[in-house]
Every structure is written in C-alpha cells, then in structure tokens.
A and B are shown apart, each in its own frame.
Chain A
C-alpha cells in the first residue's frame, strides 16, 4: 500500500530525508520513531504530495504520488498532530464536509454511524468543534478516514498531547482500522504507544532509517535501548 524507493528530500544543502526505503502492507501499522528533525514529518509530507522529492519516489496503492497526486489522495486519510477542523461547524457537519469534498456522499444516519464507530459520544455529534478536546477532534479525524473508506492512513504524532485514556482509545481505533486492512504509517515520539499498536517499527535519525523491527519480535525495554543507542544518548542507556 505504501512504498518509498530511495525517497530523498533536500532543502539547500540540508538533507531532510536520505534515501528512505520502506513498505507498509495492507493491515500493517508502521511506526516511525525519531527525535525532532529526524525526517518523520518530511516523509509524511512527501507521501501526501505536499512537497516534491529531490530524488526517489513514493507510491500509494501502486500509484506514484508525484504523478497522481489527486488520485492517491482518494485512497488516503491524514491526521496531523493538531487536527484543525472548522470550529464553527459541528462534528457531523465537519464529517459531512470533509467526506463530501473527498467524493463520499453519506446520509445523516450513516455519518452518525461512522462517528459512533470512531468512538465519539453521541451527545457530541451536534456540538461545535470549538468545544471539543484534542482527543475528540482526533476521533472526528478517524471518522473522516472511515467515511472516506481510506486504504492508507498517515498519522503525524497523533497521540502527542492526549491524556492516557484518550491515547489508549486512539490506539484501539487504529487496531480497528488495521482489522479492516488499512495500512497505517504513524510518526511518533511515543515508544510505549508504538510498541502497543505497531506491527513494524522504524527508528530514524538525520533523515535516515537506521533500524527496523517487527514489533512482536522486540520488547519495550529492548526498543527503548535500541532507540537510545540510535540517538546516541549513551548516558541514558540502562
């Protein structure tokens, strides 16, 4: 579903992403770990077609992102760190608008089902987004992905700033999407959440993918150690 071939992005003399090769298959959740500036968000921006690559290529559902920018967006959903919806519209209206402009026309009852599936409480459906917490907004984001019937989900630090309960709920939602065959690429700092939800984990530094793991094959302490070693925080390694 998601493939990058030697994907590289340079800004002037700085290399933000350096020959990234990764693949996320149907039903997989790939978590990209790394410090700020490691190249996680740049990877997501390249997959979204927001910025052109300096070299290499990215594919969504076998379509080259650069050549088929609009077409690839039909298959993907995106939730940024701070999901900003229209504060003066309700959850139902936001969902109707974003799924509508993406070409999915749903009835009001279908929209409610989707919101419910995304874990939003019924009494919040008709409330304006301006009254929502970040966790509730992220649920609307997931609902947009569900309504769109997205095959690929790109998440940029979606759990940052969420309380443990909301973060846990978000993790459960990702598992639900995984069971539907959605391929998810998530950039995060949260090792614990990554270990909990991911099928695959990659550690990035200076734009390079330094290490990759199958999540089930590594324990949380081992992942932490690998992360600290990759980041060269020797003094912190237990």
Chain B
C-alpha cells in the first residue's frame, strides 16, 4: 500500500496545486523572515561596531593627551578628564562589553529587542547592571518579531493544519472512503501513510526552501553544519508533532469543519493559551519585586553611605594596608572615599538584588518545569538558544559583564590608592571584554517533541481501535 500511496499522493498534491502553493508560501515566509532577522542582526552588529569605533577614537585622543602631558605640555581639557588620573580613564574611557551576534542570531529575535547588546562599565557605580534585569517572565517575551522562529512556531502549524485537517474527512465527504474501506487495508494505517507522506513532502519543501533562502541571502547553511542540522531537526520534529495531532483529530473527530475547528482550537491552546497561562501563573506564584522600590532603596543607601565616607575610607584602608604602605603622600581625595564606599554599597545592596534575582530564577524555573505542556514553548526556547537570544544567554551576558566591571574597577584601585598616575605604557594592560557564548544542546528539545509526537500517534491508534466502526461511513 505504501508504494502506491507514495506514488499517487505526490501526483494528487501536484495536480491539486498544493505543492506549488506551499513552495511559494514557504519561500515567501522564509525569505521575508530571514531577511528581517538579518536586518536586526546587522543593526545590532552596527551598534556594537559604532560603540567600539567610538572607544577607539576616544582612546586615540586619550593617548594623544597622555603623550602631551608626559612631554610636559599644557593640555586644554578639564582637569578631572585628563587621563593621567586613573579614575578619568576608568570613567571616561570605558571598554565596550558587547554580546556579539552568533551565526544563527537571525533565526530568532528572542529577547534581543528587549535587552541591550553592549554596555560600558565604568569604575564608578554599577547602575548599568539594572539594564539587564527585566521584570518580565521569559514566556511573555518569547514571541514578537516576524523572524524565522515566528514563522516556524506560529505559521508553519497553520500550514500543516490546512494541509492535513481533512485527509480522512474529505474522503468521507466525497464518498471515496466507501471504496477505500472496501479494500483489504486498515483505514488508520492508510491515514497514517497519507499524513506520513504529506509530512515527508512538506519536510522536503521546508528544507529546500530554507536552503534556497539561505543561499540567496548570502548565508551558507553548511558553514555551521551542526547548527543547521540542529535547526532542521527541530523544525521537523515540531512539524511531526502537528501531523501527529492531525492524525489524532482525523481519526477522532469527523467532518472537515469539525476537524478544522478542533485543529485551530488546539493551535490556540498550544501556541497562545498555554504560554500565556504559564506566564500569568508564574507572575502570580512568584511575583517580582518592584523595580522602582529597588532603585529607591539603592539611592537612599548611597546617600546614607556618602555621609559616612571618611569613616568608610578608614575602614577600607584598614582592610587594605598595602595601599596605605605604598603611598607616601597619603593624599586622599573624593575618589578614594567614593570607591571605598562603593564596596560597602554593593554589600548592603546584595540582599535586595539577590532577592530580585532569586525571584526571577524561581519564576523561570517554574515555567521551565511546565514548558513541556506546549511544544511551541519548547521549540521557541530551543530556537532562542540557537540564536543566542534566550533569557539564559542574556543572563549569562549580564554575569560576564558584572564580572568584567569588577575586573575593570579592580584594575584601577592600585593606581588610585597608591596615588599613581596612568601613563601611555599602562594602556596596553587595560582589561578588555570578550563575550563567551554558552552552547546549549537542542537534543533534549528534539527528543521531547519526538516523544510527544509518538505519544499522539499511539493515542490515535488506540482511539481508532476502540472505535473500530465509528463514522467510517455515512450510514446508508
């Protein structure tokens, strides 16, 4: 039976113009979404490049100033910005801590339109760290841009629904099911083969369309073979889930109209409702602390600390005798007091910041525990990981930037407390930031979706076995 279904299904799909229609639709959707994604990636790259260029120009200026000062020349710049002061370098010549794009960043915007991709941590203050900590649940932020992920998660299931909802019911309604059912075949096997073949042909079209779009937009899909095959694997199992659902609905429901309503209802549930409900529940069970309150608390703490800066500096130097010993002048200015107080501010603030972070983590864990309810969440999360735009990626970036900010600050502490000037020879030793992407395997997502699809196929067979005679025919 399979060889005959294989032979004639393609003929039927070609003659009913399904293949042609799907090819055009897929090429348009993939083409536009990949182009759109690439534009966003390009903008991000340009922003980072512009920031880095600005730093480069500032550095050139700084080196010129240092050279002039070191030659004993007079320079026309505000005294507090002259780079012989380590604090001037630390504050006015920060490095760019950038989250570089990944090779598949165009696939999914993910959280990219909500978080910044570069920051310039200075020695004074760590307000920049607030920029990373969005108060929203990841699921709420999952969808949005017309990118490849949107096409795959939202639109591809709709195409599959249109392509599969009436495989059995159309035969029943046209009357050909009676002739089919009079042959020595199992109707559920026949439906499975038809849907399997449609899955096969749609997969071929999807793969071909993706390769054509990638190549025509100047992307080499085979440059990162693992990533590309990972992307294909994920798309195929996600499609398989929807075909498995169509199998169940075809055997379970009945008329084409009811099947269509049932499939669209399931689409709404899995793609829209479940992510939204999980988000709402996550917010209710683990409500996030108020960001405004947190900022207010930071400000009042800073104000309080400022009043006691002399005392704090004494304590700081007691803790760091090396600075007291190496500095013969023992001249202490604003920055000595300020930097000493920063450590205290950080310590005092850590419970507030930690509480917020813990709550965010709890919320994300809770949502992560139930993500298997919706294949859309699993697929989207996996695509975000692939693109390097997931919540975890931004959290990872935030942690790396905070660590770098500490390194940057610590780099200038000996200069400051030893009252040592910054010079040209110190420039090459300035710390720089390199973002390290943590790779995440897509295998678990692929296996989970595959398991869900197999489960649905199994359920379909169970349903059809139980209701052996149910509605194969319109009774005569």
> Which residue numbers of A lie inside 8 Å of B, CB to CB?
41-42, 44-45, 48, 50-52, 70-71, 73-74, 76-78, 80, 82-86, 88-89, 93, 96-98, 100-103, 141, 144, 154, 156
Supposing A45-B476, A48-B182, A50-B469 touch, asked if A82 and B175 sit within 8 A by C-beta, the answer is yes
Name the one of A70, A78, A86, A103 contacting B12, with C-beta atoms under 8 angstroms.
A86
Complex alpha-carbon distance, A175 and B22, angstroms = 48
CA distance A86 to B15 in the complex (A): 11
Given contacts A50-B472, A88-B15, contact A97 B8 (CB under 8 A): yes
Q: Closest CB of chain B to A149's CB: distance in Å? A: 13
* Most chain B Cβ neighbours within 10 Å, of A44, A80, A93, A101: A101
Can you list 15 A-B pairs with a CB-CB distance of less than 8 A? A45-B473, A50-B178, A71-B184, A76-B182, A77-B182, A84-B174, A84-B176, A85-B176, A89-B15, A97-B7, A101-B180, A101-B183, A101-B190, A141-B179, A144-B179
Give the residues in chain B near A84, CB-CB below 8 Å: 174-176, 178-179
Q: Is the CB of A50 within 8 A of B473?
A: yes
Instruction: Give the size range of B's interface with the partner.
Output: 20 to 34
- Minimum CB–CB distance for A130 against chain B, Å: 10
- Which A residues are in CB contact (< 8 Å) with B76? none
Q: Is the CB of A96 within 8 A of B175?
A: no
Alpha-carbon gap, A156 to B1, bound state (A): 26
Partner of A85, one of B3, B4, B179, B475: B179
CB nearest neighbor in B for A42: B476
The answer to whether B472 touches A78 (Cβ under 8 A) is: no
Considering the complex, give the chain A residue whose CB is closest to the CB of B12: A88
B8 touching A78, Cβ below 8 Å? no
Nearest chain B CB to A64 CB, angstrom units: 15
B1-29 interface bits toward A, Cβ cutoff 8 Å, 1 = contact, 0 = none: 10111011001100110000000000000
Residue B176 contacts which of A70, A77, A86, A156 (CB distance < 8 angstroms)?
A86
Contacting residue for A78 out of B4, B15, B179, CB 8 A: B179
B181 interface contact, C-beta 8 A: yes
Distance, CA A213 to CA B472, complexed state (A)? 34
CA distance A102 to B185 in the complex (A): 7
The answer, among B184, B185, B472, B476, for a CB contact under 8 Å with A156, is B476
Q: Is the CB of B175 within 8 A of A73?
A: no
- Contact, CB under 8 Å: B175 / A102: no
Q: Which residues of A contact B184 (CB under 8 A)?
A: 70-71, 73-74, 102-103
Residues of the B chain whose Cβ atoms lie less than 8 Å from the Cβ of A103: 184
A59 CB → nearest B CB, Å: 16
Indicate if B333 sits at the interface (CB-CB under 8 A): no
Q: A84-B175, A85-B179 are in contact. Are A101 and B472 (CB under 8 A)?
A: no
CB of B72 closer than 8 Å to a CB of A = no
Q: Which residue of A lies closest to B4 (CB)?
A: A100
| B218 proximal to A (CB < 8 A) | no
Q: B186 an interface residue at 8 Å Cβ cutoff?
A: yes
User: Which of B174, B175, B183 has most A Cβ within 10 Å?
Assistant: B183
Closest Cβ of chain B: how far from A2's Cβ, in Å?
14
B468 contacts across to A, CB distance below 8 A = 52
CB of B178 within 8 A of CB of A89, answer: no
Q: How far is the CB of B4 from chain A (nearest CB, A)?
A: 4
Q: In chain B between 182 and 221, which residues have their CB closer than 8 angstroms to a CB of chain A?
A: 182-186, 190
A102-B183 contact in complex given A84-B175, A85-B176, A97-B8, C-beta closer than 8 Å: yes
Determine if A41 and B476 form an interchain contact, defined as CB atoms under 8 angstroms apart.
yes
How does the 8 Å CB contact mask read for B154-183 relative to A, with 1 for contact and 0 for none?
Answer: 000000000000000000001110111111
Output the nearest chain B residue to A80 by Cβ-Cβ distance.
B178
Residues of A within 8 A of B475 (CB): 45, 51
How far apart are the CA atoms of A73 and B468 in the complex, in Å?
Answer: 16
A89–B179 CB distance below 8 A: no
Tell me which residues across on chain A come within 8 A of B176, comparing CB atoms.
Answer: 84-86
| A93, B11: Cα distance in complex, Å | 10
Q: Are A97 and B182 in contact (CB under 8 A)?
A: no
Using known A-B contacts A45-B473, A80-B178, A85-B176, determine if residue A98 contacts B183 with beta carbons closer than 8 Å.
Answer: yes
A83 touches B179 (CB 8 A): yes
Other A-B pairs, 8, CB within 8 Å; known A73-B183, A77-B182, A101-B185: A50-B472, A70-B186, A73-B185, A80-B178, A84-B178, A86-B8, A88-B15, A97-B7
Please measure, in the bound complex, the distance between the C-alpha atom of A37 and the C-alpha atom of B178, giving whole angstroms: 19
Q: Is the Cβ of B16 less than 8 Å from the Cβ of A88? A: yes
Query: When chains A and B are docked, how far (Å) is the Cα of A100 from the Cα of B193?
Result: 15
- The smallest C-beta distance from A85 to any residue of chain B, in angstroms, reads 7
- Least distance between B187 CB and chain A CB atoms (Å): 10
B11 and A101 contacting across the interface, CB-CB below 8 Å: no
> If A89-B12, A102-B184 touch, does A97 touch B179 (CB 8 Å cutoff)?
no
Question: In the complex, which residue of chain A has the Cβ closest to the Cβ of B190?
Answer: A101
| Chain A contacts for B178, CB-based, 8 A | 50, 78, 80, 84
| Nearest-Cβ distance from residue B5 to partner chain A, whole angstroms | 7
Docked Cα-Cα span, A95 to B319, in Å, equals 94
Q: How far is the CA of A30 from the CA of B473 in the complex (A)?
A: 24
CA distance in complex: A176, B264 (Å): 51
Asked if B473 and A51 sit within 8 Å, CB to CB, the answer is yes
Q: In the docked arrangement, what's the CA distance between A45 and B181, Å?
A: 11
Task: Say how far A127's CB is from chain B's closest CB, in angstroms.
Answer: 13
Q: What is the CA–CA distance of A123 and B158 in the complex, to the nearest angstrom?
A: 42
**Is A89 a contact of B476 with CB atoms below 8 Å?**
no
Q: Is the CB of A89 within 8 A of B8?
A: yes
Residues of chain B with a CB closer than 8 A to A45's CB: 473, 475-476
Contacts of A50 in B (CB 8 A): 178, 181, 469, 472-473
CB pair A89–B4 under 8 Å, yes or no, is no
Instruction: Find B3's partner among A48, A100, A141, A144 (CB 8 Å cutoff).
Output: A100
